[in-house]
């Protein structure tokens, strides 16, 4: 490099003499060292020079060097293994600390503690959603927008909420009741008429699910000022009435959707006696895409009237009764809509048969999703369908819990509660008839009378161990409040208790409600429930009341505390 030439980075290099200076000041001149040549007295040969170098002492044998090196290598491997064990142990200890901290928080909130396996599973699900979101953020371009847009629709604008794991809302009995109803897609005829109306009642603790379908032709009271101008009509009109009344009052599409959901959920609550925590509204495209996304479903086709096949003129389905068929989305939709309205075979129950088949489709789809074990591709495929074709009232922070329930679905824990029975007339809670000139479904107990339906639903959703034990209970009124025992009978029957009869107690001076058992060990779960309900301790029936205990298992004497 020339004297004044600059380097690539723009600096002029120092001369070698400058680099030797201890003082970097440019004002000082560095003198060249005064070098003197010293001549040797006698010039020796190269051999003489080599001989002046002394041999290294204690030179080791090469074999010993190799042995030592191998020993050192073994020591290093052992040390590395010990290091890995220490790291793994630290990670496990860290996991345990987080596990204990999480359970401590749950206990403070009154929640049931998790097992270590449950904790790991929830962490993995949260990580899965977090990883999916992070991947979406880095994919970019044309792919990221539609996918994020889908998640945005599903989560109602709160995408990051899915990494939370919020427990679902529940009623006073600990059950989560979800109203699921379907309509045709926008732009189709009758798009505001509901094709299917179903409630899934979920026990989050044991993942048990009870489903009940309501007939679309059930005649109900409703307010339908601007759409139909009626005060009563079929249940499948209720959502549309709420939607159009809201829309015509100037509300947005989103608010009109919410209004329609609200009036339908309130009507379903009136019929079944169940508080509705969540609503899911989808069109039939959801069913097609969801079934296709899981690779189709297997459904056993049954003709409930004893026919050897199921054929529907309108939907063109044609199956042998008793056989299992693999259905894609289009076939599943056709099967779920068939009701013999234009003729056919094996669908004499019309809408009632269709409701049974819709529950079969739901059960088969959940079972297939469970088999997929949270396959990300399947979930994303379903999500793309849901984003455009579904409305729901779940918070984004509750969606992980919903996916866990779907993942842990067990067909043995899903039970249908039919409101119509082909074989048992006592199991029919509806009948068909005419309201004016209109053919409709009406409650067997009478028009707009849902008391029998509510008692049946309560007994099968809220009873649990109470229903299994079927303890026979007699209620005695121990107060001066007239009709108190009859009122309590209705309440208890709705909760699943079997009331054998009511009567007056021998005296009317009971301040506190009493619970007596005939045999303590015979109905333990029912006794325990009643103790909790009335905040009392059950006792053995005293001899002075023995005449009231004939033919029953438990006696309840209502006190002043129950009449307040």
* Residue pLDDT, tens place only, 391-437: 888 887 777 777 777 666 666 778 889 898 766 666 789 999 999 99
Distance separating alpha carbons of residues 513 and 511, to the nearest angstrom: 7
At residue 239 the predicted structure's pLDDT band, cuts being 50, 70 and 90, is: very high
Specify the higher pLDDT residue, 497 or 387.
497
pLDDT at 544 over 90: yes
Specify the higher pLDDT residue, 527 or 388.
527
Mean pLDDT (the chain) is: 78
% the chain with pLDDT above 70: 71
Burial of 354 (0-12, 13-18, 19+ CB in 10 A): buried
Q: Taking residues 206-213, what's their average pLDDT?
A: 87
% the chain with pLDDT above 90: 38
Position 165 scores a pLDDT of 63
As given in the structure block, the two tokens for residue 351 are 């809408």
Position 26 scores a pLDDT of 42
pTM, rounded to two decimals? 0.59
Position 44 scores a pLDDT of 44
Q: Any idea where the domains of the chain sit in the sequence?
A: 128-163, 175-441, 463-563
pLDDT at 295 over 60: yes
Position 535 scores a pLDDT of 93
Q: Taking residues 466-494, what's their average pLDDT?
A: 90
As given in the structure block, the two tokens for residue 430 are 């509806």
Q: 37-41: which pairs have CB atoms within 8 A and are 24 or more residues apart?
A: none
The answer to whether the beta carbons of residues 273 and 494 sit under 8 Å apart is: yes
Backbone region of residue 522 per phi and psi (left: phi > 0; alpha: psi in -120 to 50; beta: other values):
alpha
Distance separating alpha carbons of residues 35 and 202, to the nearest angstrom: 99
Would you call 392 helix, strand, or coil by DSSP? strand
Position 156 scores a pLDDT of 52
Q: Which residues contact 385 (CB under 8 A, 6 or more apart)?
A: 285, 286, 288, 289, 290, 293
How many Å separate Cα 40 from the centre of its chain? 97
Any alpha helices (H) in 249-350, and if so which ranges? 253-272, 284-293, 329-337
Position 39 scores a pLDDT of 44
Cα three-residue angle 153-159-160, rounded to 5 degrees: 170
Q: What does each C-alpha distance from 106 to 116, 173, 202, 360, 383 come to in angstroms? A: 14, 20, 21, 36, 31
As given in the structure block, the two tokens for residue 277 are 């925590």
As given in the structure block, the two tokens for residue 216 are 């679309």
Highest mean pLDDT among 44-58, 92-106, 472-486: 472-486
pLDDT at 232 over 50: yes
Highest mean pLDDT among 43-52, 124-133, 480-489: 480-489
Helix axes 376-389, 116-139, angle to 10 degrees: 70
Specify the higher pLDDT residue, 163 or 528.
528
pLDDT at 319 over 70: yes
Position 89 scores a pLDDT of 76
- Options 2.60.120.10, 3.30.1330.60, 3.40.50.261, 3.40.630.190; CATH for 175-441 is 3.40.630.190
Position 349 scores a pLDDT of 85
User: How are strands ordered across the β-sheet holding 472-477?
Assistant: 498-504, 472-477, 554-558, 514-517, 539-540
Backbone region of residue 563 per phi and psi (left: phi > 0; alpha: psi in -120 to 50; beta: other values):
alpha
Distance separating alpha carbons of residues 200 and 210, to the nearest angstrom: 6
Q: Does domain 463-563 have CATH number 3.20.190.10?
A: no
Position 425 scores a pLDDT of 65
pLDDT at 154 over 50: no
Beta bridge partners of 414: 209
Q: 6-9: which pairs have CB atoms within 8 A and are 24 or more residues apart?
A: none
pLDDT at 370 over 80: no
Position 379 scores a pLDDT of 58
Burial of 546 (0-12, 13-18, 19+ CB in 10 A): exposed
Specify the higher pLDDT residue, 31 or 313.
313
Position 37 scores a pLDDT of 43
Q: Taking residues 333-350, what's their average pLDDT?
A: 89
Q: How many residues does the chain have?
A: 564
pLDDT at 516 over 90: yes
Q: Per residue in 157-205, pLDDT tens?
A: 544 444 456 788 998 778 999 999 988 877 776 778 998 899 999 888 8
The answer to whether the beta carbons of residues 221 and 448 sit under 8 Å apart is: yes
Q: Taking residues 12-29, what's their average pLDDT?
A: 40
Beta bridge partners of 319: 310
* DSSP assignment letter at 61: P
The answer to whether the beta carbons of residues 550 and 501 sit under 8 Å apart is: no
Position 70 scores a pLDDT of 63
The answer to whether the beta carbons of residues 465 and 525 sit under 8 Å apart is: yes
Q: Per residue in 55-111, pLDDT tens?
A: 454 555 566 666 666 666 667 667 677 767 776 777 778 778 888 888 888 787 777
* DSSP assignment letter at 218: B
pLDDT at 280 over 50: yes
Position 30 scores a pLDDT of 43
* DSSP assignment letter at 396: G
For the chain, the distance separating the N- and C-terminal CA atoms, rounded to the nearest angstrom, is: 105
Handedness of CA 151, 388, 290, 236 (dihedral sign): positive
Phi then psi for 41, rounded to 5 degrees? -70, -35
Cα three-residue angle 87-89-91, rounded to 5 degrees: 70
Beta bridge partners of 203: 175, 208
């Amino acid at each position: 490099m020339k004297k004044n030439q600059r380097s690539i980075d723009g600096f002029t290099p120092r001369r070698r003499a400058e680099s030797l200076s201890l003082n970097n000041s440019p004002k000082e001149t560095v003198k060249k060292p005064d070098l003197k040549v010293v001549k040797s007295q006698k010039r020796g040969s190269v051999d003489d020079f080599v001989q002046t170098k002394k041999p290294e002492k204690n030179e080791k044998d090469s074999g010993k060097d190799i042995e030592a090196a191998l020993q050192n290598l073994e020591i290093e491997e052992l040390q590395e293994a010990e290091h890995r064990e220490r790291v793994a142990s630290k990670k496990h200890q860290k996991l345990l600390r987080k596990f204990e901290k999480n359970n401590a928080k749950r206990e403070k909130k009154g929640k049931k503690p998790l097992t270590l396996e449950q904790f790991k599973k929830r962490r993995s699900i949260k990580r899965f959603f977090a990883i999916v979101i992070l991947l979406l953020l880095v994919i970019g371009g044309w792919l990221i927008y539609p996918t994020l847009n889908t998640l945005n629709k599903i989560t109602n604008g709160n995408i990051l909420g899915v990494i939370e794991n919020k427990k679902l809302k529940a009623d006073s009995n600990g059950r989560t009741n979800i109203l699921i109803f379907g309509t045709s897609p926008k732009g189709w005829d009758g798009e505001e008429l509901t094709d299917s109306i179903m409630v899934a009642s979920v026990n989050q603790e044991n993942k048990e699910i009870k489903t009940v379908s309501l007939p679309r032709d059930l005649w109900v009271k409703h307010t339908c000022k601007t759409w139909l101008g009626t005060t009563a009509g079929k249940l499948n009109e209720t959502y549309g009435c709420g939607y159009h009344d809201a829309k015509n009052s100037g509300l947005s599409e989103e608010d009109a959707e919410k209004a329609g959901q609200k009036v339908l959920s309130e009507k379903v609550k009136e019929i079944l006696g169940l508080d509705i925590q969540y609503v899911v509204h989808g069109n039939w495209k959801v069913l097609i895409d969801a079934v296709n996304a899981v690779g189709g479903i297997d459904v056993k086709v049954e003709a409930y009237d004893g026919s050897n096949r199921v054929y529907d003129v309108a939907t063109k389905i044609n199956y042998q009764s008793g056989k299992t068929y693999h259905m894609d989305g289009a076939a599943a939709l056709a099967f779920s809509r068939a009701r013999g309205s234009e003729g056919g075979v094996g669908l004499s129950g019309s809408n009632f048969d269709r409701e049974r088949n819709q529950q079969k489709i739901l059960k088969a789809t959940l079972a297939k999703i469970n088999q997929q074990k949270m396959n990300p591709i399947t979930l994303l495929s379903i999500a793309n369908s849901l984003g455009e074709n579904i409305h729901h009232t779940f918070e984004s922070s509750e969606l992980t819990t919903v996916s866990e329930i779907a993942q842990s679905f067990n067909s043995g824990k899903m039970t249908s509660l039919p409101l119509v029975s082909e074989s048992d007339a006592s199991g029919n809670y509806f009948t068909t008839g005419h309201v004016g000139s209109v053919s409709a479904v009406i409650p067997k107990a009478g028009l707009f009378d849902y008391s029998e339906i509510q008692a049946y639903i309560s007994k099968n959703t809220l009873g649990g161990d109470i229903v299994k034990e079927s303890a026979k209970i007699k209620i005695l009124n121990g107060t001066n409040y007239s009709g108190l025992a009859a009122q309590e009978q209705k309440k208890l029957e709705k909760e699943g208790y079997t009331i054998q009869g009511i009567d007056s107690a021998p005296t009317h001076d009971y301040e506190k409600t009493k619970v007596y058992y005939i045999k303590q060990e015979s109905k333990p779960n029912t006794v325990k429930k009643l103790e909790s309900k009335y905040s009392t301790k059950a006792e053995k029936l005293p001899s002075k009341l023995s005449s009231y205990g004939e033919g029953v298992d438990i006696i309840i004497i209502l006190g002043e505390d129950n009449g307040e």
